[in-house]
Amino acid sequence: MTTAAPPAWSELVEDLAERGVLAQPWRAAFLAVPREVFIPEVIWRYVGDDLVPLRRGEEPAEWLARAYGPHYVVTQVDDGIPAGPQGQGQVPTSSASRPDIVAMMLAAGRLEPGMRVLEIGTGTGYTAALLAHYLGARNVTSIEVDQKLAAQARTALERAGYGEVTVVTGDGARGCPEAAPFDRVLSTVASPRVPYTWVAQTRPGGLVVTPWNSAYKPAGLLSLTVGTEGSATGGLVDTTISFMPLRDQRIPRPAVADVVREADIPERSDTDLHACDLCNDDAPFAIALSVPGCHWIYEPASGDDGRWCVWFLDPTTRSWARFDYQPDTQRWPVHQFGPRRLFDEVTTAYHRWCHAGQPPATQWRFTITPDGQRAEF
Rounded to an integer, what is the distance from CA 90 to the centroid of its chain? Answer: 18
Asked if 36 touches ligand SAM (CB under 6 A), the answer is no
Distances (CA, A) of 369 to 194, 202, 203, 224, 366: 10, 13, 15, 12, 10
Residue with smaller CB distance to ligand SAM, 96 or 294 = 96
97 is a contact residue toward ligand SAM (CB under 6 A): yes
Residues 35/67, Cβ–Cβ less than 8 Å = yes
Asked if residue 201 binds ligand SAM (CB under 6 A), the reply is no
Q: How far apart are CA 104 and CA 118, in angstroms?
A: 17
Judged by CB under 6 A, does residue 246 bind ligand SAM? yes
Classify burial at 131, counting beta carbons within 10 Å of its beta carbon; exposed 0-12, middle 13-18, buried 19 or more: buried
| By the rule CB under 6 A, 149 interacts with ligand SAM | yes
**Nearer Cβ to ligand SAM (56/340):** 56
What are phi and psi for residue 376, nearest 5 degrees?
-145, 160
Does residue 144 touch ligand SAM according to CB under 6 A? yes
Rounded to whole angstroms, the Cα distance separating 356 from 205 reads 30
Q: Which of residues 168 and 313 has its CB atom nearest to ligand SAM in the complex?
A: 168
- Among residues 172, 192, 206, 235, which is the contact residue for ligand SAM, using CB under 6 A? 172
Residue 214 designated active-site: no
Catalytic residue among 97, 214, 223, 319: 97
Q: Which stretch binds ligand SAM (CB under 6 A): 5-13, 28-36, 142-150, 342-350?
A: 142-150
Residue 244 binds ligand SAM, judged by CB under 6 A: yes
Interface with ligand SAM, residue 51, by CB under 6 A: no
Stretch of residues binding ligand SAM (CB under 6 A), selected from 109-117, 140-148, 154-162, 262-270: 140-148
99: enclosing H helix or E strand: helix 99-108
Asked if residue 173 binds ligand SAM (CB under 6 A), the reply is yes
Percentages (nearest 5) of helix, strand, coil residues in the chain: 35, 30, 35
* 124 near ligand SAM, rule: CB under 6 A: yes
Rounded Cα distance between 283 and 277, Å, is 7
Tell me the DSSP string of 131-157: HHHHH-GGGEEEEES-HHHHHHHHHHH
Binding span for ligand SAM by CB under 6 A among 171-179, 255-263, 345-353, 362-370: 171-179
User: Residue 10 and residue 68: Cα distance in Å, rounded?
Assistant: 9
Which residues touch 305 (CB under 8 Å, ≥6 apart)?
Answer: 326, 327
Q: Which CB atom, from 153 or from 259, has the smaller least distance to ligand SAM?
A: 153
Neighbour-count burial for 196-231, b at 16+ CB within 10 Å, e otherwise: bbbbbbbeeebbbbbbbbbbbbbbbbbbbebeeeeb
Q: Residues 238-260, buried b or exposed e (16+ Cβ, 10 A)? A: bbebebbbbeeeebeebeeeebb
Q: How far is the CB of 190 from ligand SAM (least distance, A)?
A: 9
For ligand SAM, which residue of 141, 152, 188, 347 counts as binding (CB under 6 A)?
A: 188
* 96 is a site residue for ligand SAM (CB under 6 A): yes
Nearer to ligand SAM, 176 or 287 (CB): 176
Q: Does 126 bind ligand SAM (CB under 6 A)?
A: yes
Smaller CB separation from ligand SAM, 126 or 343: 126
* List 45, 217, 247, 318, residue binding ligand SAM (CB under 6 A): 247
Cβ 143 to ligand SAM, closest distance in Å? 5
Residues carrying an active site annotation: 97
Name the site residues for ligand SAM (rule: CB under 6 A). 93-97, 120-121, 123-124, 126-127, 143-146, 149, 171-173, 188-189, 243-244, 246-247
